[in-house]
Amino acid sequence: MHPMLNIAIRAARNAGKVIVKGFENLESVEVEEKSLNDYVSSVDKEAELAIIGTLRKSYPDHSIVAEESGIDQGKDNDHQWIIDPLDGTTNFIHGIPHFAVSIALKIKGRTEIGIVFDPIRNELFSAVRGQSAQINGYRTRTNSVPKLSGTILATGFPFKQKHLTETYLNIFKDFFMDVADMRRGGSAALDLAYVAAGRMDGFWEFGLKPWDIAAGELLLKESGAMMTDFNGGNDYMKSGNVVAANPKLLKEMLTVVRKHNI
């Protein structure tokens, strides 16, 4: 096993212990509204500290980008960890057991390790560049369906960008007329992991952050899927606009999205 993957898994599981403990005692969890409809809990912060503490023990000089604490520019800028300690906070604080820890490592700007850990189901999605993706040690492959017909797509509502609601709903309608069904789980990290594992056929969402998608991007690539922005390019880390699926289905999805001139 890649030594840095080992440490990333340890960090994710340590965060998972914090999250499960908090989930069992939700009445004691403190919640703040960072911005409109965007929440952070005391468990998010504690889980992030658990991840950073674990990483720092082995790699004290690495740089870190974390959702809650921001950027910690270490001495070693070639190694950068990208952390979302609890993706799906709204689910968590409402007692909905669907959320995950997301950890990615970039080395010289290229994602080399990706982890998405669901602590409730004890499902660990992991990938090392060039070495395939796995769920709990078993290799994952994305679905090979080439057309929208019969598919299940995952999505996320633009709750932070409600001015895009009409555009979003128009795209949703176009997809819905062709697919078998749609799912909105509330955790982009898990949505991407599910596409990689073949549980969902494709995914699309507006306005995501790098820590939402950095690990999922590698899971997809190592499972035979792709991620692009709404123009079919690679600007998704900046724009946050994401489409993901196997290459043939992705082409179909982009045709639908492009009609709306976002």
> pLDDT tens across 214-226, in order?
999 999 999 999 9
> pLDDT tens across 37-80, in order?
678 899 999 999 999 999 999 999 999 999 998 888 788 999 99
* Count of all residues that appear for the chain in the document: 262
Q: What is the DSSP annotation of 100-157?
A: EEEEEEEETTEEEEEEEEETTTTEEEEEETTS-EEETTEE-------SSTT-EEEEE-
**DSSP state for residue 28 in the 8-state scheme:** G
C-alpha to C-alpha distance for 40 and 58, rounded to whole angstroms? 27
Percent with pLDDT over 70 in the chain? 99
